[in-house]
Amino acid sequence: MTIVSKDINKASEILHDEDVVAIPTETVYGLAGNIYSEKAIRKIFQLKQRPLFNPLIVHIHSTEQLDEIVSYIPDKAKLLADTFWPGPLTLILKKKSNIPDLVTSGKDTVAVRIPRHPLTLSLLEKIDFPLAAPSANPFGSISPTNPSHVENYFRGRLSMILDGGDCKSGIESTIIGFENDKPVLYRLGSIAIEDITKVTGPIEIKNKKETAPNAPGMLSRHYAPETSTFLVDDVEEFIAGRTDKNIGVLLFDKKINAPNIAVQEILSKKGDLKEAASRLYASLHKLDKLNLDLIVAERFPDSGLGKSINDRLERATRKN
């Protein structure tokens, strides 16, 4: 039976026993284990059914811990860390030799961040090792943003879920790497690219790679419901010729009128992209449980967090 609790002492005990705990962050829940325990890391990959070529993100409680895991920090990485940590920013940096290849998929770099969640920060301060923590869902499925999502995925196969309530940001961290000391965006996320470039200046975007990805979340099919899902510019036009289908729609700020819509999920009635991002995965989970024939998502404005939401929906959907 899975324990669902706010008890960081219990979570610490389980992690010290080289087992796995689901932890809350401001983005999504993660499956966490001691980065130095091969047993724990292999259990994460096994629970998620995650390919070993896909590297994990290491979570730490302070910038002082970077000395333990990275060998070099570019100046712009320092600026980004100073600006956004703790928070939903992951940096890809040159690793030290003590970081296991299993965590980094054999790469000479490691993905690292300081999460902005008080319960998980308290846990990270209590234990004497960093945590690897990819999202707490089977590989390719919708990411979890509350404890019930995690419980539904792993029913009894997980020792503990550290209950931190609903995740505030709701989509994964933005990932920045460095090539010849120049910043490169590997994954759009909870920090808008416009906010990143205020710190770094212009930045190259390389956010898709099917083999040996530089970072998590780069595969084209990801974050996906089991229900056939489509991302379209005009929802009404798309569903007009599908009157025989039981359809759920995912919309930004306004409902639409169409007789063949079974349910409508509005992400932000006030048109707030941050609110929409925070509710994205929870709404997809809800729609995916309704035995619909189709989920049809509306394309979001292509700026700010709208770019990140569109990125997640493009990876979750099928082409027309």
Please write the tens of the pLDDT for every residue from 115-124.
Answer: 999 999 999 9
Total domains present in the chain: 2
pLDDT, residue 221, reads 66
Within a domain: 221: no
Within a domain: 210: no
- 59/187 same-domain check: yes
pLDDT, residue 219, reads 64
β 294-298/247-251 pair status? parallel
Within a domain: 72: yes
pLDDT, residue 210, reads 62
Within a domain: 269: yes
Distance CA 264, CA 247 (A): 9
Within a domain: 120: yes
Please work out, in degrees rounded to the nearest 5, the angle formed at the alpha carbon of residue 29 by the alpha carbons of 153 and 125: 135
- State the DSSP code for 105: T
Distance CA 79, CA 108 (A): 22
- 238/123 same-domain check: no
- 56/104 same-domain check: yes
pLDDT, residue 216, reads 74
- State the DSSP code for 55: P
- 174/292 same-domain check: no
pLDDT, residue 320, reads 43
Within a domain: 233: yes
User: Which positions ≥6 away from 288 have C-beta within 8 Å?
Assistant: 142, 225, 226, 227, 295
Contact 260, 238 (CB under 8 A): no
- 110/257 same-domain check: no
Greater pLDDT, 299 or 218: 299
pLDDT, residue 96, reads 98
Q: What is the pLDDT of residues 83-130, one digit of tens each?
A: 999 999 999 999 999 999 999 999 999 999 999 999 999 999 999 999
Q: Is the pTM of this model over 0.85?
A: yes
Mean pLDDT (the chain) is: 94
* Mean pLDDT value across residues 180-189: 96
Parent domain of 96: 3-205
pLDDT, residue 318, reads 61
- 43/143 same-domain check: yes
- 134/268 same-domain check: no
- 41/183 same-domain check: yes
CATH of the domain at 272: 3.40.50.11030
251 closest CA partner among 243, 260, 261, 242:
261
CB atoms within 10 A of CB 26: 20
Residue 17 banded pLDDT, cuts 50, 70, 90? very high
CATH of the domain at 182: 3.90.870.10
pLDDT, residue 209, reads 65
- 155/38 same-domain check: yes
Residue 164 banded pLDDT, cuts 50, 70, 90? very high
